[in-house]
Amino acid sequence: MKFENSVEEVMVLHRRVLFCIVAAISIAAITGCGMAGSRGSMSLDNLAYPVSMSPFLYGPRGESVEKGKDLAVVGKFEYVKYHWGILYSAVALSGTGDIGEAINAEIARLHGDGMVNLTVTAKNGFLNSIPIFNLLPIWPGFTRLEVEGDIVKLSGVNRHAGQ
Protein backbone atom coordinates (compact mmCIF):
# COMPACT_ATOMS: atom_id res chain seq x y z
CA MET A 1 0.00 0.00 0.00
CA LYS A 2 2.81 2.36 0.84
CA PHE A 3 4.42 1.56 -2.53
CA GLU A 4 1.23 2.61 -4.44
CA ASN A 5 1.11 6.02 -2.73
CA SER A 6 4.72 6.65 -3.60
CA VAL A 7 4.05 5.85 -7.27
CA GLU A 8 1.02 8.15 -7.31
CA GLU A 9 2.98 10.92 -5.63
CA VAL A 10 5.79 10.55 -8.13
CA MET A 11 3.28 10.65 -11.04
CA VAL A 12 1.67 13.83 -9.68
CA LEU A 13 5.08 15.40 -9.22
CA HIS A 14 6.06 14.46 -12.80
CA ARG A 15 2.84 15.99 -14.14
CA ARG A 16 3.46 19.22 -12.24
CA VAL A 17 7.04 19.43 -13.48
CA LEU A 18 5.91 18.72 -17.05
CA PHE A 19 3.19 21.37 -16.77
CA CYS A 20 5.72 23.93 -15.48
CA ILE A 21 8.12 23.14 -18.33
CA VAL A 22 5.40 23.44 -20.98
CA ALA A 23 4.11 26.66 -19.41
CA ALA A 24 7.61 28.17 -19.27
CA ILE A 25 8.32 27.27 -22.90
CA SER A 26 4.94 28.67 -23.98
CA ILE A 27 5.46 31.94 -22.14
CA ALA A 28 8.97 32.29 -23.53
CA ALA A 29 7.72 31.63 -27.06
CA ILE A 30 4.84 34.10 -26.80
CA THR A 31 6.87 36.90 -25.25
CA GLY A 32 9.86 36.27 -27.48
CA CYS A 33 7.87 36.56 -30.69
CA GLY A 34 7.48 40.11 -31.91
CA MET A 35 3.88 40.56 -32.94
CA ALA A 36 4.14 44.30 -33.47
CA GLY A 37 5.01 45.48 -36.94
CA SER A 38 4.35 48.01 -39.64
CA ARG A 39 3.07 48.25 -43.15
CA GLY A 40 3.74 50.75 -45.87
CA SER A 41 4.90 51.12 -49.43
CA MET A 42 7.38 53.16 -51.36
CA SER A 43 7.38 53.98 -55.05
CA LEU A 44 9.64 55.54 -57.66
CA ASP A 45 6.84 56.87 -59.87
CA ASN A 46 8.15 60.41 -60.44
CA LEU A 47 11.70 59.64 -61.56
CA ALA A 48 13.16 61.99 -64.16
CA TYR A 49 16.52 60.19 -64.41
CA PRO A 50 17.51 56.58 -65.12
CA VAL A 51 17.94 54.51 -61.95
CA SER A 52 19.30 50.97 -61.81
CA MET A 53 19.83 48.37 -59.11
CA SER A 54 22.87 47.14 -61.04
CA PRO A 55 26.12 49.00 -61.83
CA PHE A 56 24.88 49.64 -65.41
CA LEU A 57 22.76 52.24 -67.21
CA TYR A 58 21.93 52.71 -70.89
CA GLY A 59 23.85 55.38 -72.79
CA PRO A 60 22.55 57.88 -75.37
CA ARG A 61 22.56 55.24 -78.16
CA GLY A 62 21.06 52.50 -76.01
CA GLU A 63 24.42 50.90 -75.24
CA SER A 64 25.22 49.61 -71.78
CA VAL A 65 27.46 51.95 -69.78
CA GLU A 66 29.21 50.75 -66.63
CA LYS A 67 30.19 52.39 -63.37
CA GLY A 68 33.94 52.84 -63.25
CA LYS A 69 34.35 52.72 -67.05
CA ASP A 70 31.78 54.99 -68.68
CA LEU A 71 30.16 56.36 -65.52
CA ALA A 72 31.88 58.43 -62.86
CA VAL A 73 30.44 58.51 -59.35
CA VAL A 74 29.71 62.11 -58.33
CA GLY A 75 27.93 61.42 -55.05
CA LYS A 76 25.99 59.05 -52.84
CA PHE A 77 22.23 59.11 -52.27
CA GLU A 78 20.98 58.15 -48.81
CA TYR A 79 17.36 58.29 -47.70
CA VAL A 80 15.64 56.92 -44.59
CA LYS A 81 11.90 56.49 -44.05
CA TYR A 82 10.03 54.94 -41.15
CA HIS A 83 6.81 52.99 -41.65
CA TRP A 84 4.58 52.76 -38.56
CA GLY A 85 1.65 50.49 -37.79
CA ILE A 86 -0.65 49.28 -35.02
CA LEU A 87 -3.04 46.34 -34.58
CA TYR A 88 -0.28 43.88 -35.49
CA SER A 89 0.46 45.94 -38.66
CA ALA A 90 -3.15 45.72 -39.89
CA VAL A 91 -3.45 49.52 -39.65
CA ALA A 92 -0.73 51.44 -41.47
CA LEU A 93 0.05 54.83 -39.97
CA SER A 94 2.58 55.97 -42.59
CA GLY A 95 0.91 55.54 -45.94
CA THR A 96 2.67 55.48 -49.31
CA GLY A 97 5.77 57.45 -50.12
CA ASP A 98 7.27 58.36 -53.49
CA ILE A 99 11.01 58.86 -53.20
CA GLY A 100 11.40 59.68 -56.89
CA GLU A 101 11.35 63.41 -56.20
CA ALA A 102 14.06 63.12 -53.54
CA ILE A 103 16.23 61.13 -55.98
CA ASN A 104 15.58 63.68 -58.76
CA ALA A 105 16.56 66.58 -56.48
CA GLU A 106 19.83 64.95 -55.37
CA ILE A 107 20.85 63.97 -58.92
CA ALA A 108 20.10 67.52 -60.13
CA ARG A 109 22.00 69.07 -57.19
CA LEU A 110 25.10 67.00 -58.03
CA HIS A 111 24.67 67.55 -61.81
CA GLY A 112 24.47 63.80 -62.34
CA ASP A 113 22.94 61.80 -65.18
CA GLY A 114 21.44 58.92 -63.19
CA MET A 115 21.86 56.47 -60.33
CA VAL A 116 23.28 52.95 -60.11
CA ASN A 117 23.51 50.34 -57.35
CA LEU A 118 20.17 51.32 -55.82
CA THR A 119 19.53 49.28 -52.68
CA VAL A 120 16.54 49.23 -50.35
CA THR A 121 16.98 47.70 -46.89
CA ALA A 122 14.21 47.11 -44.36
CA LYS A 123 15.20 46.88 -40.71
CA ASN A 124 12.97 45.76 -37.87
CA GLY A 125 12.29 48.45 -35.27
CA PHE A 126 13.27 47.90 -31.64
CA LEU A 127 9.68 48.52 -30.49
CA ASN A 128 8.63 45.37 -32.34
CA SER A 129 10.65 43.17 -29.99
CA ILE A 130 9.74 44.39 -26.51
CA PRO A 131 8.33 41.39 -24.60
CA ILE A 132 4.77 41.53 -23.28
CA PHE A 133 4.04 44.99 -24.77
CA ASN A 134 4.25 43.73 -28.35
CA LEU A 135 1.31 41.43 -27.57
CA LEU A 136 -0.93 44.50 -27.15
CA PRO A 137 -2.80 45.39 -30.37
CA ILE A 138 -2.36 49.13 -29.73
CA TRP A 139 1.43 48.81 -29.33
CA PRO A 140 3.06 50.60 -32.29
CA GLY A 141 5.60 48.89 -34.47
CA PHE A 142 7.90 50.32 -37.11
CA THR A 143 10.22 49.39 -39.93
CA ARG A 144 13.18 51.51 -40.97
CA LEU A 145 13.65 51.63 -44.74
CA GLU A 146 17.07 52.69 -45.97
CA VAL A 147 17.52 53.62 -49.63
CA GLU A 148 21.02 54.12 -51.04
CA GLY A 149 22.59 54.51 -54.44
CA ASP A 150 25.53 55.95 -56.36
CA ILE A 151 24.82 59.09 -58.36
CA VAL A 152 26.76 58.94 -61.62
CA LYS A 153 27.66 61.12 -64.59
CA LEU A 154 28.47 59.92 -68.09
CA SER A 155 32.09 60.42 -69.11
CA GLY A 156 32.77 63.10 -71.75
CA VAL A 157 33.27 60.61 -74.61
CA ASN A 158 29.98 58.75 -74.20
CA ARG A 159 27.99 61.80 -73.13
CA HIS A 160 28.04 63.28 -76.64
CA ALA A 161 28.21 60.01 -78.62
CA GLY A 162 24.55 60.11 -79.61
CA GLN A 163 24.64 63.72 -80.90
The number of domains in the chain is: 2
Which DSSP string corresponds to 71-100?
EEEEEEEEEEEEEEEETTTTEESS-EEE-H
**pTM (whole model) above 0.95:** no
Tell me the range of 5-14, 58-67, 131-140, 142-151 where mean pLDDT is highest: 142-151
110 and 52 share a domain? yes
The C-alpha atoms of residue 86 and residue 42 are separated, in whole angstroms, by 19
24 and 75 share a domain? no
50 and 85 share a domain? yes
28 and 40 share a domain? no
Q: What is the chain's mean pLDDT, rounded?
A: 83
110 and 135 share a domain? yes
- Please give the distance of CA 128 from its chain centroid, rounded to a whole number: 13
Q: Which domain holds residue 27?
A: 1-32
The C-alpha atoms of residue 115 and residue 118 are separated, in whole angstroms, by 7
Per-residue pLDDT tens digits for 132-163: 777 777 888 888 999 999 999 998 654 444 44
63 and 25 share a domain? no
What does the pLDDT average to over 85-110? 88
111 and 133 share a domain? yes
Which positions ≥6 away from 46 have C-beta within 8 Å? 98, 100, 101, 104
The C-alpha atoms of residue 96 and residue 43 are separated, in whole angstroms, by 8
70 and 95 share a domain? yes
Task: Name the CA dihedral angle for 100, 106, 112, 116, rounded to a multiple of 10 degrees.
Answer: -60
- Give the CA count within 13 Å in the CB-facing half-sphere of 77: 31
Question: What pLDDT does residue 32 have?
Answer: 59
- Count the Cβ atoms, other than its own, within 10 Å of residue 144: 15
